[in-house]
Amino acid sequence: MEIINFAKQKSLVSKFMMELRNVDIQRDKMRFRRNLERIGEVMAYEISKRLDYAATATTTPLGTVQCDDIASQVVLATILRAGVPFHQGFLNYFDDAQNAFVSAYRKYKPHSDVFDIHIEYIACPRITGKTVIIADPMLATGSSMELAYQALLTKGKPAHVHIAAVIASQQAIDFVQKHFPEETTTVWVGAIDPSLNQHSYIVPGLGDAGDLAYGDKE
C-alpha cells in the first residue's frame, strides 16, 4: 500500500497546513474551509495522474486535435460534516464525478471517553469497477474511515480506493494498512502526526475540524 505524505516535500500544501493548524488564523472559518478545499484541489490534481486516459478527437473552431480525457469513472465520497469543504476541493477538479456521502459520528458512553462509531446515512451510486476517493480531513483512529468504506462496499466493489486526509495519526495509518486491501488502496495525507490524546484527537493536530469549519455543536 502506497502512503503519499505531502509533508515530506515542501509545497503550497505546507502553507495551507500551517494556516489550518495556527490557532489565530483558524478562527477565520471561511479561510479554514477554503484551506481544506485547496488541499483537496492539490490532492485531486495528484490523484489525476494515476487515472486511465483515452485519446479523444476534439473539434476546435479551426480544425480537430487529439486530446486525452479521463477514462476512469471517479466517485468522490466523504464523511459528514467536516469532510464537506475538503470534498468540494476534489469536486472542483473532478467536476463530472459521481458523489457519495456517509454520515458517521462518535457516540460516547456516559461519563466516559470511550465511544463507538455509528453510521446512520449513506447516499452512493454503484461503485463496481470505479475509482473511489474517500475524503475525510482528520484520520484519527481509522475506525470511521473503515466503517465508511464497508458501507460503500454495499454498493459494489471498486477498482481502486484513494483515501485522502489532511492530517492522520500514525495509529490510523497503521490501522488502514491492516484493514484495507493492499494492492488497491492508496493513502494521500497532508501530514502524519505521532499520537492521539485520551479523547482520540490527533496531537498536535489542529483541533475539531468540523467545529472549526461550521461552528460548535452540542
- The count of structural domains within the chain is 1
Task: For residue range 89-120, list pLDDT tens digits in order.
Answer: 999 999 999 999 998 765 656 666 655 666 77
We report the CATH number of the domain holding residue 140 as 3.40.50.2020
Residue type, 118: H
How would you write the pLDDT of the chain (218 residues) with one tens digit per residue?
A: 999 999 999 999 999 999 999 999 999 999 999 999 999 999 999 999 999 999 999 999 999 999 999 999 999 999 988 899 999 999 999 999 999 999 876 565 666 665 566 677 899 999 999 999 999 999 999 988 999 999 999 999 999 999 999 999 999 999 999 999 999 999 999 999 999 998 889 999 999 999 999 998 77
Is the residue at 151 inside a domain? yes
Q: What SS3 class is residue 28?
A: coil
Residue type, 139: L
Q: How far apart are CA 42 and CA 7, in angstroms?
A: 13
Is the residue at 209 inside a domain? no
CB 125, CB 154: distance < 8 Å: no
Is the residue at 60 inside a domain? yes
Is the residue at 210 inside a domain? no
pLDDT score of 115: 57
pTM of structure: 0.92
Using CA atoms in the order 214, 19, 142, 131, what is the torsion angle rounded to 10 degrees? 90
Is the residue at 134 inside a domain? yes
pLDDT score of 105: 62
Q: How far apart are CA 163 and CA 185, in angstroms?
A: 7
- First CA to last CA distance, the chain: 38
Residue type, 72: S
Is the residue at 205 inside a domain? no
pLDDT score of 208: 93
- The domain of 119 spans 2-199
